[in-house]
Amino acid sequence: MSGLPPGSELETATDRTPPSTVVIFGASGDLTQRKLAPALHSLACAGRLSPETSILGIGRSDITNDAFRARLFEGVQAYARLKPDPRLCNLWSQFETRFSYIRMPNLDTAGFAGLTERLRSERSVDGQGNVLFYLAVPPAAASAILRSLGHAGLAKSDRGFRRIVFEKPFGSDLSSARELNQAAHAVFDETQIFRIDHYLGKETVQNILALRFANAIFEPLWNRDYVDHVQITVAESIGVEHRAAYYDRAGVLRDIVQNHLLQLLTLVAMEPPGSASAKALRDEKAKVLDAVRSIDGKDFVLGQYAGYRDQPNVAAGSSTPTYAAVRLLIDNWRWRDVPFYLRSGKRLAEKKTEIRLQFKDVPHRLFSEERGPAPNRLSLQIQPDEGVHLRFEAKVPGSGMETHPVDMVYHYEDDFGATGLPDAYERLLLDALTGDPSLFIRSDEIELAWGLIDPLLRASLSPSPYSVGSWGPEDAGRLFDAPGRVWLND
Ligand code: BG6
């Protein structure tokens, strides 16, 4: 079933999920309303979700099926890429019947016995017994659910697949991530496990691979001979808002640096994989993390935005960082001595995720004595303004030989239209249901990433204050150690 007019571009999509039951733990939380239900709806509209998909939401709240569906409808209307629309995607009245809610306040044996019964009856509907468990719960609850799934015998099936998706954060430091990996491996094989980092579901993030490995012109320059340094920025203008209870325990290092920033780093820095297989891709990403030199105390700066401590649910005198900037070095042939500057913060000047490769200066300047910033820079705009910009010098018209930096610009929207970019969760749900782990994080990757961040979590560094709407604390500039290197904020 698709809610789109026959023959429309999305209607012709070929990948389609097999009949399955999606069991969402933590279904009364925000993620299901804002991300999962809207993504499933858009997949259904695009004809990519099997009509024989049912979604069981499990949560603590005491709500009826109707209330659950009404809540999801609000989310779908507000956040789905393909929204319910009588002309474009008119399937809500059928689609909502696929969702049901099971209240399980204690995740106890009786609750799981009820779930097993329910899955048996679902199985008779789709005839295959494919089940995707989706853990949209904190890591501590994840371990308990894993044990119960194991005891109830729900992790294995001789007919159909059993897979499990872990929302981030996967652990809260290296030792808890290791424990969670062990708990997961006690019940599921690694091939059944899908650890989410929603950044990998973003089209523009996947485009890093296309840009590097589907073109011949960039890769020859993509190394220490030509690249002066790399800056990776995940800047947000929003603050912690209603998530302070979680955020004050996590902070930016756990919330963004360990996952989104390090994942972006792996894609920019990895060697070309031998094939496009999940194994080849994830092997190369893991090698990057393994080659990152341990981060020294002088190589990072933490910050906290003014007013953070006044937010509800933030501990008085909290020293949780809402900003981090880190200087990394990758000890391998390609990147030796090329610094990678990673930064992320809340309440910064604007929302912007981008990767900038600053190329080295020309060996000899013919047209100007002035030593300004080196002229060439490649910017991969992940969001907003999704696209690619290449900066180079051009001659200013007129007499003389004055030059000025100009940009060669590509925007996704221009070529693929405004709704051409699926939401990250659409792609990730599609891949989890069709069984492609390429865009999910393997157990070794997750532990390597935590291993890099652990020393920063343990360092007793107080965050420096910064003003709301700025680019972070002043002292973040001290990470630059060569003339001409500054944070590129323009
Ligand atoms: C989440 C973090 O993983 O990513 C949030 O928990 C953050 O704190 C969000 O706001 C940013 O995602 P995006 O897709 O808006 O860049």
> How would you list the strands of the sheet with 403-411, edge to edge?
403-411, 387-395, 377-383, 352-359, 227-235, 340-345, 323-328, 300-305, 464-466
Q: Residue 36: is its pLDDT beyond 90? A: yes
- Cα(247)–Cα(106) distance, rounded to whole angstroms? 24
Calculate how far, in angstroms, residue 33's C-alpha sits from the geometric centre of ligand 1: 15
Rounded mean pLDDT of 111-139?
A: 82
Nearest ligand 1 atom to the CA of 238 is: 10
> Which atom of ligand 1 lies closest to the CA of 255?
6
Mutate to test the pocket of ligand 1, among 167, 198, 322 (most ligand atoms within 8 A of CB): 198
Tokens 């610009």 map to which residue? 409
Examine the pLDDT at 127 and tell me if it is beyond 70. Answer: no
Q: How far is the CA of 120 from the centre of ligand 1 (A)?
A: 36
For the ranges 44-48, 194-198, 313-317, 360-364, the lowest mean pLDDT is seen at 360-364
The one catalytic residue in 229, 260, 404, 411 is: 260
DSSP lists the bridge partners of residue 162 as: 131
pLDDT bin (cut points 50, 70, 90) of residue 7 is: very low
Comparing 402 with 271, the larger pLDDT belongs to 271
d(CA 222, CA 334): 8
pTM: 0.94
**Alpha carbon 8 to chain centroid, angstroms:** 29
Instruction: State which of 197, 256, 350 you would mutate to test the pocket of ligand 1, scoring each by most atoms of that ligand within 8 A of its C-beta.
Output: 256
pLDDT over 50 at 4, yes or no: no
Mean pLDDT of 357-364: 92
Catalytic-residue membership of 260 = yes
Q: Taking all residues of the chain, what is their mean pLDDT, rounded to a whole number?
A: 91
Q: CA of 297: how far to CAs of 230, 265, 324, 336, 451, in Å?
A: 20, 20, 13, 20, 15
**146-153 average pLDDT score:** 93
Amino acid identity of residue 291, one-letter, is: A
State the distance from the centre of ligand 1 to the C-alpha of 90, rounded, in angstroms. Answer: 30
Check residue 27 and give its pLDDT.
95
The arrangement of strands across the sheet holding 162-166 comes to: 99-103, 53-59, 20-25, 131-135, 162-166, 193-195
Q: Is 353 in the pocket of ligand 1 (CB under 6 A)?
A: yes
In whole angstroms, give the CA distance from residue 123 to residue 490.
55
Query: pLDDT value at position 416?
Result: 84
Burial 294-319 (b: 16+ CB within 10 A, else e): ebeeebbbbbbbeebeebeebeeebe
- Predicted confidence at residue 131, as pLDDT, reads 95
Query: Shortest CA distance to 131 belongs to which of 35, 59, 31, 24?
Result: 24
Q: CA 149 to CA 28: how far, in whole Å? A: 20
- Summarize the confidence of residues 390-416 as an average pLDDT: 90
Least confident of 197-201, 299-303, 399-403: 399-403
Mean pLDDT of 111-130: 78
Q: Is the pLDDT of residue 124 over 90?
A: no
pLDDT at residue number 412: 87
Confidence at 96, pLDDT banded by 50, 70, 90: very high
Rounded to an integer, what distance in angstroms lies between the CA atom of residue 196 and that of residue 432?
10
What is the Å distance from ligand 1's center to 452 Cα? 20
The predicted-structure confidence for 270-305, as pLDDT tens digits, reads as follows: 999 999 999 999 999 999 999 999 998 899 999 999
User: Which ligand 1 atom minimizes the distance to the CA of 250?
Assistant: 6
User: What is the CA(323)–ligand 1 centre distance, in A?
Assistant: 13
pLDDT at residue 267 in the model: 98
Does 204 contact ligand 1 (Cβ within 6 A)? no
- The whole-number pLDDT of residue 128 equals 65
- For the chain, helix (H) and strand (E) counts, in that order, are 14, 15
Residue for token pair 């900066």: 391
Please choose from 236, 243, 262, 322 the residue to mutate so as to test ligand 1's pocket, defined by most ligand atoms within 8 A of CB: 236
| Residue 236, ligand 1, Cβ within 6 A | yes
The model's confidence at residue 400, banded by pLDDT at 50, 70 and 90, is confident
Q: What is the pLDDT of residues 155-185, one digit of tens each?
A: 998 889 999 999 999 999 999 999 999 999 9
More confident residue, 235 or 364: 235
Which ligand 1 atom is nearest residue 236's CA? 10
- Which protein residue's CA is at the shortest distance from atom 8 of ligand 1? 255
